[in-house]
Structure 1
Amino acid sequence: MPYILSIVTFLPLVGALAVLMARVMAKSEEAAAGPARWIALIASLVVLAVSVVLVAGFDPSNPAYQFVEMVPWFAGASYHLGVDGISILFVLLSAFLLPICIIASWSSIKERVAEYMIAFLILETLLIGVFTALDLFLFYIFFEGTLVPMFIIIGVWGGANRIYAAYKLFLYTLLGSVLMLAAMLYMAATAGTSSIPELTAYDWPVGVQTFLWLAFFASFAVKMPMWPVHTWLPDAHVQAPTAGSVILAGILLKLGGYGFIRFNLPMFPDASEYFTPLVMVLSVIAIIYTSLVAFRQTDIKKLIAYSSVAHMGFVTMGIFAGNDQGVQGAVFQMISHGLISSALFLCVGVVYDRMHTREIAFYGGLTSRMPWFAAIFLMFTMANVGLPGTSGFIGEVLTMVGAYQVSTWAVFFAASGVILSAVYALTLYRNVMFGEITNPALKAITDIDRRELLIFVPLIIGTIWLGVYPAAVLDITQASVSAVTAAYQTAIGG
């Protein structure tokens, strides 16, 4: 299919325009809500179908960029799209999660429904654009553009402190990205091109690599987020609507890890090797410290948010191991986390829609009233811990195997973080699900309905399938990851 990348990137924008037309033609906000939901859902499903066609036509044995589109744009920059074995899975993950977000918001969002759907569809275009862009400045436009709809989603449909959380997200991310923009301008001026493949092949002097690496690291570390620039994430998650948390944890956090793999590791190999001990230290602190902080949380959503920071610690550890197992594990962990963390935030949304509180102390004994929900929550809790047979296990093990070849002490401490994750996750489950119902308000709570079951089924299938058959991801990423790590090892003399 010609121009398939442009189609999959901008189809959500077409859906957003259709929702806007429905809103304009409707006599009232309430009259526009129903058509807006259906148009957004249909548009997102079409995008998912096109992304499946894209993956079906992809050649995993070819490490080069495929489905390439290139049109000169301005000042030497180009509209340049392409995907490899790493980026194509994130395109699929983005397309996979958006219909789930729309169905999850079906009844919980009652005000400005059309505007809400438009924001999500625009966000989908920008996210897919990040993973398909092969021009430095096109990448930057998509990368920074994701901030705007996310800022609006949190700021308009979020909780009581939504304005504070939205501004904190915006300012943290923007500050790091200013340094990255300066580095991009220098790179384009020096190399005479803004093409990412050409810049990857460019031989940057060692002294220059250090500054460029730090500039890109500043942006991607905030986006991951790495310790200590992670503090925006718990606030953003707590204030965001359920679907906002799903897209934030499922896709937005992955932009940082994707950036490390696409820019820091292959473009600045000497600087990456030099700073690897620093990254290992920050990763280990993130895994252990945020696991301990998660254990002390009283808000379910904030606990899961801190667990995301800990899981991203495994990702950074795997990426900067700079070998096949580490980078493969990092990509797998990001895909896996996109499924598991999304499901956990949806689980929080189920009880929040019924009781309008996320306080752990409010709950207890839900198993007797919500057996289906209890089973689903248990499944994703165990996947989050890294139970063998789930996708969470594969990602953590692979990243630690890769990192072990570089730093045995980092893996030793990271493994203790796995134990800590079991402590806070199972404690949460025990407090919410087991025991007697002591809160009278919970005696009327109902189990999940068909709509809620519908959003969990694909996530359950994905989590178990990747846990049992990890080759579904690893076979696609193998050639591209090997090309990145082989070039990195050659550059550092490994």
Structure 2
Amino acid sequence: NSPVLVSVMLVVFKMAPFGFLLFCLPLFPDASVYFMPLIVALCIVSIVYNALIAYRAENIKELIAYSSISHLGVMILGIFSLNALGISGAVFYMFAHGIVTGALFLMVELLYQRYHTYDISFYHSLAKKAPLFSIFFMLILLASVSLPLTVSFVGEFLILLGIAKINLLYALLAGLVIILGAIYMFAVFRKIFFIQKQSFIESFSLRFREIVALVCIVVMIFGLGLMPNILLKPIQKDVDNLIKIMNIRAVEQNTLDFLSKIGEANVK
């Protein structure tokens, strides 16, 4: 029930995965490898659990919040793939998550300013009542569900490739859950924008400054989706250094064998 300007701070949740990258992996490589199966399992449970809560949400802000937490599990999944593909994807996805989740909360705030409610059941027929708003919402939603050509797709795809190098079953489970998440997001979009009800709802138009802000967001979403190397190249250098540090500081032979088996994959 907090204001949207407070809820948007959920995007800083990705500081937790950043902490894993900054402290856990380089300082404790042996422990990271030892607990990797447990953490991966917890990530998959977290993704499923929060996706189910989001599916049952009756408040649009609550829906986005739990969906955001579900995506957090995807980030950590990539980090604990412990290879260059997965970690690079996780870092890229952190950036994408900040753009997309912030944009979704912005869209919710624009709705609240007009109708003063977050209740999903209140909204209907917005595709007719606010066509331009509906187009922007749809474009941002496509990024939220990681459709190809969007910024989120690059991160999630690399994460799935990275986790598949460890265990193909983990990658299949994570991919299935991501698809289920897309289904409930599109189901909510259909309720809000296309289902017609007898209750009256006023039309509205976006202001000029709102259009400018949303255009900038959409350009970033699809620009980085089409040209991901703008971010991936500098990310890859740091990830390669991180993996080298893990190999140097690892003590247990099992850790060294695991890191050697996984190898260093280059993001192209």
| TM, length-normalised to structure 2 | 0.91
Partner Cα distance (1:399, 1:304) in 2: 21
Partner Cα distance (2:82, 2:138) in 1: 34
1:290 is displaced (CA, Å) by: 1.3
Equivalent position amino acid for 1:355 in 2: Y
Find out whether 1:249 has 2:10 as its counterpart. Answer: yes
1:393 is displaced (CA, Å) by: 0.7
Aligned to 2:207: 449
Select the residue among 66, 83, 91 that pairs with 1:323: 83
Aligned to 1:382: 142
- Any unmatched runs of 5+ in structure 2? 260-268
> Percent identical across equivalent pairs?
35
Aligned to 1:174: none
Partner Cα distance (1:242, 1:460) in 2: 20
Partner Cα distance (1:284, 1:300) in 2: 24
Aligned to 1:279: 39
Aligned to 2:236: 478
Partner Cα distance (1:458, 1:475) in 2: 23
Aligned to 1:341: 101
Partner Cα distance (1:309, 1:282) in 2: 13
Preserved CA contact (<8 Å) 1:288 1:416: no
Aligned to 1:300: 60
Map residues 414-493 of structure 1 onto 2, 5 A cutoff. Answer: 414-440=174-200, 442=201, 444-490=202-248, 491=250, 492-493=255-256
Map residues 394-405 of structure 1 onto 2, 5 A cutoff. Answer: 394-405=154-165
1:362 and 1:432, CA in 2 relative to 1: closer, same or farther beyond 3 A?
same
Secondary structure at the aligned position of 2:76 is classed as helix
1:461 is displaced (CA, Å) by: 1.1
Aligned-pair Cα RMSD in Å: 1.3
Which string of whole-angstrom CA distances, capped at 9 and with x for unpartnered residues, describes residues 239-269 of structure 1?
A: 1x223223x133x112111111000011100
Secondary structure at the aligned position of 2:21 is classed as helix
Map residues 402-413 of structure 1 onto 2, 5 A cutoff. Answer: 402-413=162-173
Partner Cα distance (2:66, 2:229) in 1: 29
Select the residue among 350, 360, 365 that pairs with 2:125: 365
Secondary structure at the aligned position of 1:253 is classed as helix
Preserved CA contact (<8 Å) 1:291 1:310: yes
* Larger mean Cα displacement after TM superposition, 288-297 or 388-397: 288-297
Secondary structure at the aligned position of 1:353 is classed as helix
Equivalent position amino acid for 1:340 in 2: V
Equivalent position amino acid for 2:229 in 1: A
Find out whether 1:312 has 2:75 as its counterpart. Answer: no
Larger Rg belongs to: 1
1:394 is displaced (CA, Å) by: 0.7
Partner Cα distance (1:445, 1:359) in 2: 17
1:437 is displaced (CA, Å) by: 4.8
1:410 is displaced (CA, Å) by: 1.6
The answer to which structure, 1 or 2, has the higher relative contact order (CA under 8 A, 6+ apart) is 2
1:357 is displaced (CA, Å) by: 0.5
Partner Cα distance (1:447, 1:357) in 2: 18
Preserved CA contact (<8 Å) 1:261 1:319: yes
Equivalent position amino acid for 2:122 in 1: F
Preserved CA contact (<8 Å) 1:318 1:399: yes
Partner Cα distance (1:364, 1:426) in 2: 14
- Any unmatched runs of 5+ in structure 1? 1-237
Which string of whole-angstrom CA distances, capped at 9 and with x for unpartnered residues, describes residues 159-215 of structure 1?
A: xxxxxxxxxxxxxxxxxxxxxxxxxxxxxxxxxxxxxxxxxxxxxxxxxxxxxxxxx
Equivalent position amino acid for 1:404 in 2: A
| TM, length-normalised to structure 1 | 0.50
Partner Cα distance (1:351, 1:471) in 2: 35
Select the residue among 344, 354, 362 that pairs with 2:114: 354
1:406 is displaced (CA, Å) by: 1.6
Partner Cα distance (1:451, 1:243) in 2: 18
Aligned residues: 252
Partner Cα distance (1:368, 1:471) in 2: 38
1:407 is displaced (CA, Å) by: 2.5
Partner Cα distance (2:62, 2:195) in 1: 23
